[in-house]
Amino acid sequence: MSVQERKERERGVRERLIVATARELAEQQGWDAVTTRRLAERIEYSQPVLYSHFRGKREIIGAVALEGAAEMAAALRAATSAADGPPARVTALARAYLAFAVRNPAVYDAMFQLDGGLAFAAEETPEPLKDAFAALLETLGEVAGDGVHPGLFTEVFWASLHGLATLTRAGRLPPGDAERRAELLVERLAVL
């Protein structure tokens, strides 16, 4: 291994450590607790080392969001691949999406609530975000209905899932009915 390859590998390891530590800290104490000073202390690197990887917290949030998008896409595909038929796949998708939001609140916030400097719904949208949307579209496109653009239907269904996830997490909806809300969404919006 050349010196350059070793340095690149070490850089990648440091970058993954920064992202993992930021994510862990955010999940434990919220994103307000994630500062470059606290990250530097936790990973035992200087703040200039952190800044050599990320220009600041915004880029770290973006890196967590991209990692989360890849994880969410994998979770959605795993859930839908185990289901038989469009109705079961849509139900599995809705449950997996909402479960991801509950299990990973700080990551979900990085993906959809915080400014990570990432472009959505644009040519320059990073691949992990495009793939997460594709994971939704793969299942929801099957049930969009005649004359309905699959991408548009997917956006509306996704917005509904996001609303349920966000309102439930914020305590605006009673937690006991979460499962029934997902079922109702599937039954009424997907018209299965």
pLDDT one-digit tens code per residue, 97-143: 999 999 999 999 999 999 999 999 899 999 999 999 999 999 999 99
Residue 62 to residue 99: CA distance in whole angstroms:
21
Q: Could you please report the per-residue DSSP string of 173-191?
A: S-GGGHHHHHHHHHHHHS-
Longest CA pairwise span in the chain (Å): 59
Tokens of residue 132, six digits: 């997460």
Q: pTM for the complete prediction?
A: 0.92
pLDDT digits (tens, 9 = 90+) for 52-100: 999 999 999 999 999 999 999 999 999 999 999 998 999 999 999 999 9
